[in-house]
Copies of this chain bind each other. A is one copy, B any other.
Amino acid sequence: MTKTVGIIGGTGNIGEGLARRICLGGKFDVIIGSREASKACVAADGVVCELKDRKCTATTCSGTTNEDVCSSDILIISLPFERVQGTIETIGKAAFENKIVITLINPMIRNPKEKYFLPDAPAEGSAALAIRKMLPESTRLIAAFNNVAANKWMMLDEELDYSVAVCGDDEEAKKTVMELVGSVSKLKPLDAGPLAMTKVVEGITPLVITIAMRNGLKDVGVYFK
């Protein structure tokens, strides 16, 4: 049976792009979640139109509340870091028991005037390590998709051929997430070790934004090879 990916905060820019890209990959169904089910439904309708335009009928996309999205096999938390704790509390921690949960969050300090962004990790060392503490012990938290250039998610005519570092402490869950990553455009999943590696991986996003700003480049991504 086709596995379902639920996107918590799926009506943000990255969330909607992710939904499109995962559906177009054809291997996973998608449920878009939002605080308001109506917003999620509108977003899902947009994805469905796009899928039809592109003659993709392999997968489905629907919209619902963040709470109901938790029936999915895999959850992606696509929220600003500041909103994660509150959203988990609203949904209720029990919904996350034994789940595979993906974080792609990169907390950053912006200094556009001096042309740089820097990581702004919480005391735990990374957003992922902080979110780890907010979730039940049985949750299988994996970090992935962190460094994909944000604007590129929605540019469906452009292939995504970046390397994607996948970090986590549950090897089986990591494998499943690597399959998901590998189903999206030409993304190349790489096992990047334990969740603690997010101390590095989350920082690569402010680094590539800084590199773009300072070297006259656009939508810089990362390749490990």
What is the interface of chain A, defined by CB distance below 8 A to chain B? 114-119, 165, 190-194, 196-197, 199-201, 203-204, 206-208, 210-211, 214-215, 217, 220-225
Contacts and interface: CB of A to CB of B under 8 A. Distances in A.
A152 to B, nearest CB: 12
Copies in the complex: 2
Contact of A211 (B117, B192, B208, B214): B192
A187 to B, nearest CB: 14
The A interface is mostly helix, strand or loop, or mixed, namely mixed
Given A119-B199, A193-B207, 19 more contacts: A116-B193, A190-B211, A190-B215, A191-B215, A192-B210, A192-B211, A193-B211, A197-B210, A200-B206, A200-B207, A201-B207, A204-B204, A207-B224, A217-B225, A220-B225, A221-B224, A221-B225, A222-B223, A223-B225
A122 to B, nearest CB: 14
B200 A119 contact: yes
B191 A211 contact: yes
A214 B196 contact: no
A27 to B, nearest CB: 21
A144 to B, nearest CB: 13
Given A204-B200, A207-B200, A116 B194 contact: yes
A147 to B, nearest CB: 10
Given A223-B225, A225-B217, A200 B200 contact: yes
A220 B214 contact: no
